[in-house]
Structures are given as C-alpha cells and as structure tokens.
Amino acid sequence: QVQLVESGGGLMQPGGSLRLSCAASGSIVSVAAMGWYRQAPGKERELVAMITRAADTNYADSVKGRFTISGDNAKNTVYLQMISLKPEDTAVYYCYARIMPLGGYNDDYWGQGTQVTVSA
C-alpha cells in the first residue's frame, strides 16, 4: 500500500542541473529516512544521498558539493538538486525510503527509478 513516486529525470548537458522529487504515499505511520541511489549499466547500485527525518544527511563522495538532498516531512517527500552534472552521473536514479507502514514494521521501499542522462 506504500508507494514511492519519482519525477524530474531527463536529459541534460554536462554542467547543467536537474531536480529530482520523490513522494511517499499510502498508509504510512512514519518515515525514518529517504534518499537516492543510482545504478549505471553494468555497475552496482550505489548510494547517492540520504536524509533522515531529523534532517541528517550523507552523500557519496562523487557527488558531494554538487548534489543537495532535502526533505519535507509533512509531505513525505525528498528532493535531490543536482548541479554541475557530469556524464558519469548518467544512471537510473532510484528513490528509497525506510517506512513504518500502518499495521507493520519498518521496511525498505523503492521507487521504479527515473533515468538521468548527461550527454553533450
């Protein structure tokens, strides 16, 4: 019954910017953390950025200083502002959330992924 809905992916030139959004909806009691992972072809899925309900954040070294994660607890929504995009940022970006659903225990949830392509 919990669903993560992503938006904001697309094609961008190197040096450009994109903003990803992800909203968790459904029978949610609480959200402990939300974040973003990405997976490039032939590579493992990797953490990009994470934010807790208390607004603690962490980033992959490869994006630190270029990407900013933020959240809106009232909307159960997380954002990823990406600037100075590089071709190596090209990947499918997946929204992640750790959620306590109604009638259940904390569990991990994933969005379907949104393609980010950085190319000249």
pLDDT digits (tens, 9 = 90+) for 40-90: 999 999 999 999 999 999 999 999 999 999 999 999 999 999 999 999 999
The answer to whether 48 and 93 are in contact (CB under 8 A) is yes
What pLDDT was estimated at residue 107? 96
Residues of the chain above pLDDT 90, percent: 99
Q: How far is CA 26 from CA 49, 60, 66, 78, in A?
A: 23, 29, 32, 16
The residue count of the chain comes to 120
* Spatial separation of the C-alpha atoms in residues 80 and 78, rounded to whole Å: 7
* Spatial separation of the C-alpha atoms in residues 57 and 40, rounded to whole Å: 23
What pLDDT was estimated at residue 1? 85
- Is the pLDDT confidence value at 97 over 90? yes
